[in-house]
Amino acid sequence: MKFFIDTANLAEIEEAAALGIIDGVTTNPSLMAKEGIKGEANILQHYRDICKIVDGDVSAEVVATDFEGIVKEGEELAALADNIVVKVPMIKDGVKALSHFSKNGIATNCTLVFSAGQALLAAKAGATYVSPFIGRIDDVTWDGMDLINDIVEIYANYGFETQILAASIRNPLHITKCALLGADVVTCPLKAILGLLKHPLTDIGLAKFLADAKKSRP
Ligand code: G3P
């Protein structure tokens, strides 16, 4: 399973990369806006800065919603660095653009996916990744894991190569459940990844070991 970090914050990406377990980064227009980046030139430079921190794939999202605009923007993003992945929303012109990018060797991440049908379209269009938003599904009292399960089953039925990139991860349990179901990637806030570290029995056990170690080191 690949771990991507879902942020545009350079310090957080650097902290995560230092753990040695991060395989990539995902961003979106909201995460970019959160960093206070303004102007096209500064946005593009910020993507370049992210791509310098990690070797793995870095998703940068288009904001155009028409085919021509998505293609133009996507080609510009792809030219920024070898590890840029063009993030495209699950809309009709987005599917058309995903097919175009797939035929032209540009890696893509189909985002804002909330149904198995949408995930099927993304795979048919040749998306590199599909991003089902499990947390936002949970937020409206459905179970995001059911969607992951359906996508895993459908993709296995037909041998689709599109990677399932579970997104909108809210907590460590989402991560382990996605791993049990066979998602290829989870993209998470650093807090969710660090949450995997925590178990009270580990803390209790280490405290005992350290206390006993002192007995051997008077
Ligand atoms: O970046 C895509 C996805 O991870 C967004 O997550 O927390 O805004 O639902 P969230």
Per-residue pLDDT reduced to its tens digit, 69-119: 999 999 999 999 999 999 999 999 999 999 999 999 999 999 999 999 999
Q: Which of 136, 175, 186 to mutate to test the pocket of ligand 1 (most atoms within 8 A of CB)?
A: 136
Domain with 65, as residue range(s), is 2-216
Q: How far is the CA of 215 from the centre of ligand 1 (A)?
A: 49
* Structural domains of the chain, count: 1
Q: Look at strands 2-6 and 57-61 and give their pairing.
A: unpaired
Q: Tell me what pLDDT residue 117 has.
A: 98
d(CA 60, CA 29) in angstroms, rounded, equals 9
At residue 64 the predicted structure's pLDDT band, cuts being 50, 70 and 90, is very high
Residue 174 pLDDT > 90, yes or no? yes
Residue 208 pLDDT > 90, yes or no? yes
Binding site membership of 7 for ligand 1 (Cβ less than 6 Å): no
Sign of torsion, CA 140 63 14 58? positive
At residue 65 the predicted structure's pLDDT band, cuts being 50, 70 and 90, is very high
Mean pLDDT of the chain: 97
Q: Is 52 a catalytic residue?
A: no
d(CA 105, CA 18) in angstroms, rounded, equals 30
Angle at 163 between CA 84 and CA 171, to 5 degrees: 90
- Active-site choice (87, 92, 214, 215): 87
Q: Tell me what pLDDT residue 162 has.
A: 98
Mean pLDDT of 157-184: 98
Q: Tell me what pLDDT residue 218 has.
A: 82
CATH number of the domain where residue 149 is located: 3.20.20.70
Binding site membership of 59 for ligand 1 (Cβ less than 6 Å): no
At residue 157 the predicted structure's pLDDT band, cuts being 50, 70 and 90, is very high
At residue 68 the predicted structure's pLDDT band, cuts being 50, 70 and 90, is very high
Q: Which atom of ligand 1 is nearest to the CA of 30?
A: 8
* Percentage of residues of the chain with pLDDT beyond 70: 100
* Percentage of residues of the chain with pLDDT beyond 90: 100
